[in-house]
């Protein structure tokens, strides 16, 4: 077992028994479950909307190369610079070069999972540059020295009492503050950061190929401030975020909002097509768009798994997953947790090191059921398991055990032999790890085949 798998088992074992954690998550996801159906009422035929969205993303991913080139041509025509980053090191090197050219000492950031993926905050701090998260949930996590717990709700695992205590410890404010008071304190502190920062960094919810723009959707307005105040704007975007046309947004913005937070549409929706133009009064003087691969083309090359690139990062599959709700987002020890993280991480970071994530699933199919773009997540988890075995990542003991199981399963007399106590003893001894965290396997005294023969006596032919 590699160190990543061992760490996952250790963390998930502890967290699964944490009843306080379970209470907080059930409370917060309960709020989500109550809101999402209301947001979905805006769609008269929800299944048709989801199918249309999937088809658009299918077209985008199948024509990814030409659409990205179209995006680059359009946005560079208005003065933006596009940087193609093959991996995290390339992206970080490009950001460092920009920061040096601008004599940057302070950066403000809006919420972005891609920046978490490349560990941007840690990198900037190592270079002596202050990097401040401006999304409230991300700001809370940054104060606590933790990565995001959830794709959409970074501090989902914290109660309002936890946040109040954190603010009192880290910011020296009175303890026991209400959520409204906490928000006002964060707003007052962050406003000063916007005006002091030389560079604003964002992600993007979507890349718009036809007009050469990035689309941002948010509820706090911090992304707008991040792109408006600093003189330089850097957008870091995974290449899979492309949409063919700006005309796709009237579908994808409401779909993302309804599945992500239960809203009909989020509060602030922006399309940015480059730096400030000569006739414009506001906006950054320079804009850079970093298109990040970081393993995505490896996923694209897999004809079955590439469907995972349709993901719009709504977080619905996390909220639906019984495993995620029990072990928590941090147990995965990856940027992307839950079902979608378990599907894409082995392809982005290596099957050998991260195959265990695809086995951390009940395969109940709830993730597939709730996905707004109808990604067959549970089938892709099975496909990952299959690929991991083909790559030789299973042990000799495991392969022999399954071979014995297959041999027995194909012979009725062997399946009917030793039912009850004998079969229980043999199988539970062979699969000791199964009962470490589960009840021992219990076989019936008689198989269905034996019961059928008993109830339906064979008549001579």
- Residue at which a domain ends, from 261, 294, 327: 294
Residues 84 and 56 in one domain: yes
Residues 14 and 80 in one domain: no
User: For residue 152, is it within any domain?
Assistant: yes
Listed residue (251, 243, 154) closest to 205, CA to CA: 243
User: For residue 185, is it within any domain?
Assistant: no
Question: How far apart are alpha carbons 120 and 40 in whole angstroms?
Answer: 35
Instruction: Tell me the residue range of the domain where 410 lies.
Output: 405-455
What does the pLDDT read at residue 398?
A: 79
Residues 110 and 229 in one domain: yes
Question: How far apart are alpha carbons 118 and 78 in whole angstroms?
Answer: 28
Residues 223 and 134 in one domain: yes
User: For residue 308, is it within any domain?
Assistant: no
Could you identify the residue written with the tokens 């997540």?
377
Phi/psi-derived region of residue 119, left when phi > 0, alpha when psi is between -120 and 50, beta in every other case? left
Residues 234 and 255 in one domain: yes
Region 29-41: mean pLDDT is 95
More confident residue, 443 or 293: 293
Question: How far apart are alpha carbons 114 and 290 in whole angstroms?
Answer: 11
Residues 361 and 238 in one domain: no
User: For residue 310, is it within any domain?
Assistant: no
User: For residue 209, is it within any domain?
Assistant: yes
Residues 341 and 367 in one domain: yes
Listed residue (305, 166, 327) closest to 240, CA to CA: 305
- Residue at which a domain ends, from 364, 394, 424: 394
Check pLDDT > 70 for residue 459.
Answer: no
Report whether 85 contacts 92 (CB < 8 A).
Answer: no
Residue-wise pLDDT tens digits, 117-157: 999 999 999 999 999 999 999 999 999 999 999 999 999 99
Name which of 101-115, 328-342, 405-419, 421-435 the model is least confident about: 421-435
Residues 323 and 353 in one domain: yes
Please report which confidence band the pLDDT of residue 250 belongs to, taking 50, 70 and 90 as the band edges: very high
Tokens of residue 284, six digits? 């950054």
Other C-beta atoms within 10 Å of 429: how many? 10
Other C-beta atoms within 10 Å of 442: how many? 11
Check pLDDT > 90 for residue 388.
Answer: yes
SS3 289: strand
Residue-wise pLDDT tens digits, 179-235: 999 999 999 999 999 999 999 999 999 999 999 999 999 999 999 999 999 999 999
- Residue at which a domain ends, from 355, 374, 394: 394
Question: How far apart are alpha carbons 132 and 291 in whole angstroms?
Answer: 22
Residue-wise pLDDT tens digits, 297-316: 999 999 999 999 999 999 99
Percentage of the chain beyond pLDDT 70 is 99
Other C-beta atoms within 10 Å of 3: how many? 9
User: For residue 365, is it within any domain?
Assistant: yes
Question: How far apart are alpha carbons 365 and 393 in whole angstroms?
Answer: 25
Residue-wise pLDDT tens digits, 397-442: 778 878 888 888 898 888 888 787 888 887 788 777 777 777 888 8
Please report which confidence band the pLDDT of residue 26 belongs to, taking 50, 70 and 90 as the band edges: very high
Question: How far apart are alpha carbons 261 and 33 in whole angstroms?
Answer: 9
Residues 37 and 98 in one domain: no
Residues 277 and 357 in one domain: no
Question: How far apart are alpha carbons 415 and 452 in whole angstroms?
Answer: 14
User: For residue 184, is it within any domain?
Assistant: no
Residues 268 and 139 in one domain: yes
SS3 77: coil
User: For residue 307, is it within any domain?
Assistant: no
Specify the number of domains making up the chain: 3
Region 331-349: mean pLDDT is 96
Q: What is the CATH number of the domain that holds 112?
A: 3.40.50.10420
Instruction: State which H helix or E strand residue 80 sits in.
Output: none
Residues 217 and 113 in one domain: yes
More confident residue, 430 or 454: 454
What does the pLDDT read at residue 294?
A: 97
Listed residue (271, 288, 371) closest to 46, CA to CA: 371
Other C-beta atoms within 10 Å of 30: how many? 11
Residue by residue, DSSP assigns 320-341 as: H-HHHHHH-GGGG-SSS-HHHH
Interhelix angle 249-260/46-62, nearest 10 degrees: 120
Percentage of the chain beyond pLDDT 90 is 83
> pTM of the predicted model, to two decimals?
0.91
């Amino acid at each position: 077992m590699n160190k990543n798998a061992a760490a996952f088992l250790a963390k998930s074992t502890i967290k699964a028994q944490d009843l306080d954690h379970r209470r907080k998550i059930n409370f917060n996801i309960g709020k989500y479950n109550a809101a999402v159906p209301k947001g979905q009422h805006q769609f008269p035929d929800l299944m048709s909307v989801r199918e249309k969205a999937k088809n658009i993303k299918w077209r985008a991913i199948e024509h990814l190369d030409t659409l990205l080139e179209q995006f680059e041509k359009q946005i560079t025509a208005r003065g933006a610079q596009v940087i193609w980053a093959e991996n995290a090191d390339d992206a970080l090197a490009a950001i460092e070069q920009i920061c040096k050219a601008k004599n940057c000492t302070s950066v403000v950031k809006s919420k972005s999972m891609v920046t978490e993926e490349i560990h941007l905050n840690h990198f900037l701090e190592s270079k002596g540059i202050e990097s401040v998260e401006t999304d409230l949930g991300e700001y809370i996590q940054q104060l606590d020295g933790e990565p995001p717990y959830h794709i959409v709700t970074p501090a989902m695992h914290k109660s309002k009492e936890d946040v109040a205590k954190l603010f009192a410890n880290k910011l020296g404010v009175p303890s026991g503050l209400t959520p409204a008071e906490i928000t006002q304190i964060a707003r007052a502190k962050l406003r000063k950061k916007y005006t002091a920062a030389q560079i604003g960094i964002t992600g993007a919810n979507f890349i718009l190929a036809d007009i050469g723009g990035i689309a941002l959707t948010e509820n706090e307005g911090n992304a707008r401030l991040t792109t408006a105040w600093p003189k330089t704007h850097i957008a870091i975007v995974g290449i899979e975020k492309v949409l063919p046309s700006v005309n796709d947004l009237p579908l994808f913005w409401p779909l993302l909002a309804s599945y992500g937070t239960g809203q009909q549409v989020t509060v602030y929706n922006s399309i940015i097509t480059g730096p400030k133009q000569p006739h414009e009064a506001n906006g950054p003087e320079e804009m850079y768009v970093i298109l990040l691969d970081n393993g995505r083309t490896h996923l694209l090359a897999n004809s079955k798994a590439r469907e995972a690139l349709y993901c719009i990062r709504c977080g619905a599959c996390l909220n639906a997953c019984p495993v995620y709700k029990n072990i928590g987002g941090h147990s995965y020890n990856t940027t992307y947790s839950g079902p979608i993280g378990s599907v894409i991480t082995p392809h982005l970071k290596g099957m050998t090191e991260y195959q265990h994530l695809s086995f951390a699933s009940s395969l109940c199919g709830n993730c597939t059921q709730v996905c707004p773009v109808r990604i067959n997540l549970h089938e892709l988890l099975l496909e990952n398991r299959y690929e991991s075995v083909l790559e030789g990542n299973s042990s000799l003991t495991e392969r022999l055990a399954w071979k014995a199981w297959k041999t027995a399963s194909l012979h009725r007399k062997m399946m009917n032999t030793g039912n009850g106590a004998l079969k229980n003893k043999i199988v539970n001894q062979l699969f000791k790890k199964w009962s470490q965290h589960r009840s021992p396997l219990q076989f019936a005294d008689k198989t269905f085949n034996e019961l059928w023969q008993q109830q339906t006596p064979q008549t001579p032919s």
